[in-house]
Amino acid sequence: MKKLLVIGTLALLVYACAGNENNKSTENKDQSNTLLSQAQGIFKALPATAENPENELTPTKIALGKMLYFDTRLSKTGNNSCNSCHNLNTFGVDNKSFSAGDAGKLGGRNSPTTFNAALHGSQFWDGRAKDVEEQAGMPIMNLVEMAIPSEDFLVKKLAAVALYQEKFKTAFPAEEKPLTYKNIAKAIAAFERTLITPSAFDTYLGGDTTALNEGEKEGMAMFINTGCTACHNGATVGGNQLMKFGLMNDYRPLTKSTNKDNGLMDKTKKDSDKDVFKVPGLRNIAKTHPYFHDGSVANLKDAVKIMAKTQLNKDLSDADADKIIVFLNALTSDIAAETKQIPVELSSK
C-alpha cells in the first residue's frame, strides 16, 4: 500500500512539473510572438532594391553607375571617387570624422553610408536632396569634395572616354544624346538603389522568431521601451525625418563637439531650425563610426547613452546600453564581395 502511495505521489509530481514546463513554454512563446508583432508594427523588412519609377533599374544602367561610383575621373584632379568617402569595403563610410576632398581639404560634415540610403526620406544631414538621384550630382560639383567646375566640364571629360560613350548609349538607349550630367547622376543613383543590406533582423521580421537570439530580442525590447523608435523606425531604422539634436539637453557638452555647425539653420536661416539634422538610419550602425553629423563620438556605447540623454532625457545604465548594442549589432549585414569589387574596366585606367 505504501509503495502504491509513493508511486502515485511521484506520478503527480512528474505531471505537475510537466504541466509547469508546458505552461512556461506557452508563456515564453506568447511573449515572443507579442514582441514580434510589436516589432513588425514599428519596423519593416528591407526590399530587394529601392525602386524609383522615374529611374528604371536596368542591369546596364546599374553597371554604368557602379563604374562611375568608383571612377576618380569624377573629381577635378582625379584624387577622389564616390567610393573614397563612401567606401563599400567599410560599410559605405570611411570611418573618419570628416572626409578629405579632391584637394585634400576636409569637408564640414561626417560622410554617411550609401548602403540603404536610397530608402531614406531625404539625403544629406540637412535633408536638402529629396532622393539619391538629386544627391548624386551634388558632391561632384562641391568645391571641397570633388571640385568639378561645371556640368559641361564633366560631360566633356567622360565623352573623351570611348568606353563611356558606349556604356551611356546602352544604359539610356532611347535618348539621342545619352551622356548628360543628369544621366550621370541617374546611373550612380541606380547603382546606389541596389545597395540594400538585409540581415538576420529581416528574417526575424518575416516571422522567424529564432533568427534573433534571446539577447538580441532583449536588446530590441530595451530599444523600443526606451523610446528610441520614436525616430528610429521603418525599414532603415531611421532616415526618414529631420529632428533637433539636443531636443531635451544640449548635445555639445556630451559629445565635446567644437564644430560650429547649426544644422538646417545654416540653410534656412531660421532660428527654429538650429541643430536640426536628419535622423540617421541604423542599419550597419556598429560598423559606421564615428557618429553624429560631426563624427564627434567614436564609441557606439557612448553614442547610445548620449542619444538617450539628449533626445529623451534618460540616463541609460551601462547594462541597458549594452543590451541595446546587442540589438544594434543584429542590424549588421554581410556585404557581398561582388558589391565591393572595383569594376574591371577601371583596373587599367
Active site residues: 145
How far, in Å, CA of 331 to CA of 141, rounded? 33
Q: Are the C-beta atoms of residues 105 and 149 closer than 8 Å to each other?
A: no
Q: Which amino acid is at 147?
A: A
Residue corresponding to grid cell 525616430: 231
CB neighbour class for 334 (10 Å; exposed up to 12, middle 13-18, buried from 19): exposed
The total number of residues shown for the chain amounts to 349
Alpha helices in the chain (DSSP H): 2-42, 59-70, 82-85, 132-136, 151-159, 162-171, 181-192, 200-205, 214-226, 252-255, 265-268, 300-312, 318-329, 337-340
Q: Are the C-beta atoms of residues 235 and 43 closer than 8 Å to each other?
A: yes
Q: Are the C-beta atoms of residues 50 and 156 closer than 8 Å to each other?
A: no
Q: Are the C-beta atoms of residues 119 and 50 closer than 8 Å to each other?
A: yes
Closest by CA to 124, choosing from 278, 288, 307, is 278
Which contacts (CB < 8 Å, 24+ apart) does range 224-228 have?
A: 224/38, 224/39, 224/42, 226/308, 226/312, 226/314, 226/316, 226/320, 226/324, 227/312, 227/314, 228/307, 228/308, 228/312, 228/324
How far, in Å, CA of 241 to CA of 120, rounded? 9
Q: Which amino acid is at 299?
A: N
Phi, psi of 249 (to 5 degrees): -145, 140
How far, in Å, CA of 241 to CA of 328, rounded? 20
